Amino acid sequence: MFSISVTALVFGVVFLAELPDKTALAGLVLGTRYRASYVFAGVAAAFAVHVALAVAAGSVLTLLPDRVVHAVTGALFLGGAAMLFLQKGEEAEGEIRKPRDQGFWRVAGAGFGLILVAEFGDLTQIMTANLAARYGQPVSVAIGAVLALWAVAGLGIVGGRALMKRVPLRLITRVAALVMAALGVWSLYEAAVA
């Protein structure tokens, strides 16, 4: 079953949460050094793997009673909101070594490896699992999450610097935290009345 409203909600939440993430900054760094299309191919593939894993984990949670799922996802959303409220601005970590060969497989492989390792257990991966459990629509959640991650990666690779100059990172982080807090409160409310 596919729901455009669930896909749109997931897109918005994941997009806002991923913007201030270190992987968006890493994409920006890679995009300034290498051919953007090669970097995007590797980063996009890594994000697709992470979304598939997160949706699978979230789908397993749907086997639990509704009250338990709402309580767990509510608590995790509130925890994620707290993490966003309390986080300090993250800086791109260190220098990324330039591969000698700037061919497609080397550059895409560097982007894939960097994102694959950096995103395990990341906030957006946990949120994607929560959303899959919350809505029980893995296809809608997967499409929304992967499109959001790809959009952030594209922005980071191609136009990240311009975006960060126009929209304060603190504002983006606060909006994402407020949306997550609202989802957490709503889930806990549903757990209480279920």
pLDDT in tens, 139-177: 999 999 999 999 988 888 876 556 556 777 677 667 767
Supply the pLDDT for residue 160: 55
pLDDT digits (tens, 9 = 90+) for 58-101: 777 667 777 877 787 677 667 767 766 776 554 333 344 455 56
Average pLDDT over residues 99-125: 78
Q: 108-111: which pairs have CB atoms within 8 A and are 24 or more residues apart?
A: 108/38, 108/39, 108/41, 108/42, 108/45, 109/42, 110/30, 110/34, 110/39, 110/42, 111/27, 111/30, 111/38, 111/39, 111/40, 111/41, 111/42, 111/43, 111/46
Supply the pLDDT for residue 173: 66
Q: 20 by DSSP, 3-state: which?
A: coil
Q: How far apart are CA 184 and CA 13, in angstroms?
A: 12
What domain range includes position 130? 4-193
The percent of residues above 90 in pLDDT, for the chain, comes to 21
Answer yes or no: is pLDDT of 179 > 70: yes
Which one-letter DSSP state was computed for residue 94?
A: S
Label residues 154-177 b or e (16+ Cβ within 10 Å = b): bbbbbebeebbeeeeeeebbebbb
Answer yes or no: is pLDDT of 54 > 70: yes
Cβ proximity of 28 and 169 under 8 Å: no
Comparing 22 with 152, the larger pLDDT belongs to 152
Continuous segment of H or E residues that includes residue 150: helix 138-154
Name the domain count of the chain. 1
Supply the pLDDT for residue 78: 79
Query: How many C-beta neighbours within 10 Å does residue 60 have?
Result: 12
- Taking the whole predicted model, whether its pTM rises above 0.85 is answered as no
- Report residue 33 as tokens: 């050094």
Cβ proximity of 18 and 24 under 8 Å: yes
- In the block, residue with structure tokens 């949670």: 61
List the single range of 101-105, 127-131, 162-166 with lowest mean pLDDT.
Answer: 162-166
Supply the pLDDT for residue 88: 57
Which one-letter DSSP state was computed for residue 90?
A: P
Supply the pLDDT for residue 136: 86
Comparing 145 with 30, the larger pLDDT belongs to 145
List the single range of 15-19, 101-105, 130-134, 177-181 with lowest mean pLDDT.
Answer: 177-181
Provide the mean pLDDT of the chain. 78
Q: How far apart are CA 139 and CA 70, in angstroms?
A: 20
